[in-house]
Amino acid sequence: MARLPEEIKPAMQGVAPSKLATCSRDGVPNVATISQVYWVDHEHVALSFQFFNKTIKNVRENPRAQAFLLDPTTWTPWLLDIRYERSETEGEVFDAMDMQLEAIASMTGMAGVFKLKAADIYFVEGVQKLEVDPGA
């Protein structure tokens, strides 16, 4: 079981968009940009379900995915191996993500465009902080 370290939290503020890689039952990959990867607890994250029909179809067929996050304060990249558990359309996590999504939308000139359909809850199976060569 992987535990999310506290130092990953800045990468979950929605400042830098994240990437989510999924794969269909038949092995066809898909990568989508997502607005937020939200800290639920040390073992779970929630992803904003807004538009991605292909991603949702893949996750329902094959619940394992990988998320790429970037800490906007240090440019540190993170990889999360995650497994879909459920979708929430109300409650504390959904409400907090909806408010954060509205803030992200207003900062990017997209107010009224982003609509949170659900907070998809994922179990974190693995977490990796990637090393970056600043001279590269």
Q: Residue 101: which CATH number? A: 2.30.110.10
Instruction: Report yes or no on 74 lying in a domain.
Output: yes
pLDDT band at 106 (very low <50, low <70, confident <90, very high): low
52-91, pLDDT tens digit by residue? Answer: 688 888 998 999 999 999 999 888 999 999 999 999 999 9
User: Do 69 and 80 form a contact (C-beta atoms < 8 A)?
Assistant: yes
Can you give the residue range of the structural domain that contains 105?
Answer: 6-128
Residue 110 has pLDDT above 60, yes or no: no
Q: Please, where are the H alpha helices in the chain?
A: 53-61, 92-107
Percent of the chain with pLDDT over 90: 61
| Dihedrals phi, psi of 40, to nearest 5 degrees | -100, -55
Is 134 inside any structural domain? no
pLDDT, position 112: 59
